[in-house]
Amino acid sequence: MSDPLLQVDDLHVHFPAGGRAVGGKRNPVRAVDGISFSIERGRTLGLVGESGCGKSTTGLSILRLVEPTSGTVTFDGTDLGNLGRKDLRRFRRRAAMIFQDPYASLDPRRTVGDAIGEALDIHDLHQGRQARATRVAELLERVGLHPDTGSRYPHEFSGGQRQRVGIARALAVEPDFLVCDEPIAALDVSIQAQVLNLLAELQDELQLTYLFIAHDLAAVQHVSDRIAVMYLGRIVEEGDRRDVITDPQHPYTRALLSAVPVPDPVAERQRSRVELVGDVPSPMNPPSGCRFRTRCPRVFEACGRIDPDLIPVGGGEGSVGGGHTAACLLHGEVGQPVERSEHPDANEIEAGLDGALPNR
């Protein structure tokens, strides 16, 4: 059953902080700070989190568009960290990316047919001009655009159409794996659904595997098999789509879920919201202990000292590839009992719970 196409282990991506050219060490920006996950062949992992939590950097570093600081990324059994220049290009034929901004991701000076055709040129995927044009028309049609639109320039297309062009370009290299970096965030709501449907159709048809990055759960829950929630460079909860949506275990996931509007106005008015205060702390200097504690509505004393690991939580047996995990001290005893002897703070956790809750 377990046949991961992509396996990420303890991935770190740190950027040097700017400002000082010579001498004086500054903390690096820990954009991605030790995350692990895997995606099974033909499945979709939704990666959710606020702006700046490192989700896009994760996608870029998987494709080695940003060099990881440490950790391994294994794609179909190959460790991507060791790829030479040639192998890296070969790998990029198997993995492509769809970008958030369909305005900026296409060169305004070149026709969309040329943009798609270039992907073919790069990997010598066509024989002659005629074959290239035919294949471009085919790809345009595949993503729901008129096959004759290849001679037009990006500015003649709407946002949704441009995103389709971006998808066609990604498909041109015949990939197995697509990183979709917020592919619908820049689109009108009415267009979002169409693009999501297109991605779903393509997945069925071409057996694609997706890493679907988004900042709200609403988009992700419709396309994902599994969902990982990211906060400040870490994954705080990961599990089967249904488990995460219906039975969220981490306070941050709950807050994200409560930000998703409910279509029924009565229900919308009645439900309780978890509102987060403040901003995401600086990834140059993350809080001690649990990174979410500065904004967590259920914070207690131990959170400042213990950096929680992902541990199995919840009752739901994941229907797709494994369990449901969360990184929160509240669940120290719920899923898999933590031995009190190994967990010296368990008593304090309980004591802290009593005092901390009614504040909000």
Partner 1 sequence: MSDPRVHQADAELEAPSTRHQSQWRATVSALLANRLAVFGLVMLTALVLTALFADLLIRQPINAQNLADRFAPPSSQYWFGTDDLGRDVFSRVVVGARVSLQVGVVSVGISLVAGTLIGLWAGYRGGWIDTVWMRAMDVLFAFPVILLAIALVAVLGPSLRNTMIAVGIVFTPIFARVVRGSVLSVREELHVRAVRSLGASDRRIILRHVLPNVAAPIIVQASLSLAFAILTEAALSYIGVGVQPPDPAWGYMLSDAQRFQRQGWWLSVFPGAAIFLSVMAFNLLGDGLRDALDPKQRSVIESRGVE
Among 11, 136, 198, 230, binds partner 1 (CB under 8 A): 198
User: Is the distance from CB of 68 to CB of 61 less than 8 angstroms?
Assistant: yes
Nearer to partner 1, 245 or 334 (CB): 245
Strands 4-15 and 29-40: antiparallel
Which one of residues 20, 26, 51, 65 is an interface residue with partner 1 (CB under 8 A)? 65
Q: Please, which residue, 26 or 146, has the CB nearer to partner 1?
A: 146
Return the bridge partners of 239, or none.
Answer: 227
Instruction: For residue 146, state whether it binds partner 1 (rule: CB under 8 A).
Output: yes
When binding is defined by CB under 8 A, the residue of 25, 129, 155, 269 that contacts partner 1 is 155
**Residue 182 phi/psi, 5° resolution?**
45, 55
User: What part of residues 116-135 is at the interface with partner 1 (CB under 8 A)?
Assistant: 118-119, 122-123
> Which of the stretches 25-33, 157-165, 314-322, 348-356 binds partner 1 when contact is defined by CB under 8 A?
157-165
- Could you tell me which residues come within 8 angstroms of residue 289 by beta carbon, excluding any fewer than 6 positions away? 302, 303, 304, 305, 306, 307
Which of these segments, 26-34, 115-123, 266-274, 276-284, binds partner 1 (CB under 8 A)? Answer: 115-123
Give yes or no for residue 161 binding partner 1 (CB under 8 A): yes
Integer Cα distance of 223 and 210 in angstroms: 9
Find the part of the chain contacting partner 1 (CB under 8 A) among 158-166, 253-261, 318-326, 327-335. 158-166
Is there a contact between 228 and 212 (Cβ–Cβ < 8 Å)?
no
148 scored as a contact of partner 1 (CB under 8 A) = yes
Both structure tokens of 339: 């031995």
- Binders of partner 1 among 210-239, rule CB under 8 A? 222
Tokens linked to 204: 């069925």
Among 55, 92, 234, 241, binds partner 1 (CB under 8 A): 92
Number of other residues whose CB lies within 10 A of the CB of residue 32 = 30
Q: Is 61 left (phi over 0), alpha (psi -120 to 50) or beta?
A: alpha
Measured N-to-C along each axis, helices 159-172 and 112-122 cross at an angle, to the nearest 10 degrees, of: 20
Asked whether the beta carbons of 249 and 336 are under 8 A apart, the reply is no
If one asks whether residue 194 binds partner 1 (CB under 8 A), the answer comes out as: yes
Residue 154 makes contact with partner 1 by CB under 8 A? yes
- 103 in contact with partner 1 (CB under 8 A): yes
278: helix, strand or coil? coil
Single out the residue of 84, 263, 265, 315 in contact with partner 1 (rule: CB under 8 A).
Answer: 263
- Least Å from the CB of residue 339 to partner 1: 45
Residue from the set 16, 51, 131, 193 that interacts with partner 1 by CB under 8 A: 193
User: Site map for partner 1, 23-62, x if CB under 8 A?
Assistant: ----------------------------------------
**Alpha-carbon gap, residue 301 to 348, rounded angstroms:** 8
Q: How far apart are CA 201 and CA 228, in angstroms?
A: 22
Q: 99-121 burial by CB neighbour count: b if 16+ within 10 A, else e?
A: bbebeebbeeeebbbbbbbebbe
Q: Total residues contacting partner 1 (rule CB under 8 A)?
A: 55
For position 89 contacting partner 1 by CB under 8 A, the verdict is: yes
Q: What's the half-sphere exposure (Cβ side, CA atoms, 13 Å) at 55?
A: 28
Closest CB to partner 1 among residues 171, 228: 171
Distance separating alpha carbons of residues 184 and 213, to the nearest angstrom: 10
Which listed residue (142, 169, 241, 295) binds partner 1 by CB under 8 A?
169
Residues that bind partner 1 (CB under 8 A): 63, 65, 88-93, 96-97, 99, 101, 103-109, 118-119, 122-123, 144-146, 148-149, 151-161, 164, 166, 169-170, 172-173, 191-194, 196-198, 200, 222, 263
